[in-house]
Amino acid sequence: EVSWTGEDAPKQVEDMEHLTCFLPGWLSLGASMPRANATRKRRLALAESIANTCWHMYQKQPTGLGPERVKSMQMDLSKTNTREYILRPEAAEGWWYMYELTGAPQYREWGWRAFAAMEDVLWTPDGYASLKDVRDEGRGHLDRMESFFIAETLKYLFLLQDPNNTIKLDKYVFNTEGHPLSISKLPQ
């Protein structure tokens, strides 16, 4: 992230937002295009690196769930004031694209572990709930389940695990809410 307050020169801020975790899908999809030959390796390496960082955002927390933000590259969240998990889909989305486009099994494993943590930590008698602090389940839940949790988060996690998944990227494109739309063929 680059920050500028209107004084002197902009400064680089080493923060990572959960929302950034969709980038591996975007980058790997771009790398899969025929005209991307010159940049394919660089794009895939960057996508893999960001996907790995997103996994560490989950894996390094006692609950197994990733926070909204990591500041100053401190995965213990000691510099972060937004430690909640609000059921975001971006990590699962990025891992699904990476799995579809590379076939690397770690993305399925990461998705399964994230799902298991959601089942363990976020399930309540009334459904799933956001978590106030990914470092401490005892801090409680937020009384909300965002609509994107079912529409996107669970969908991408399911697709990651489904061995018979027929939603392939040469036949479908996903809109921003995770809904697959078939790609129509242009008339000849």
Catalytic annotation, residues:
68
Short-list 113, 66, 96, 85, CA closest to 174:
96
138 Cβ contact list (under 8 Å, min separation 6): none
Per-residue H/E/C for 3-59:
ECCCCCCCEECCEEEHHHHHHHHHHHHHHCCHHHCCCHHHHHHHHHHHHHHHHHHHH
162 Cβ contact list (under 8 Å, min separation 6): none
Q: Cβ distance 18 to 67 under 8 Å?
A: yes
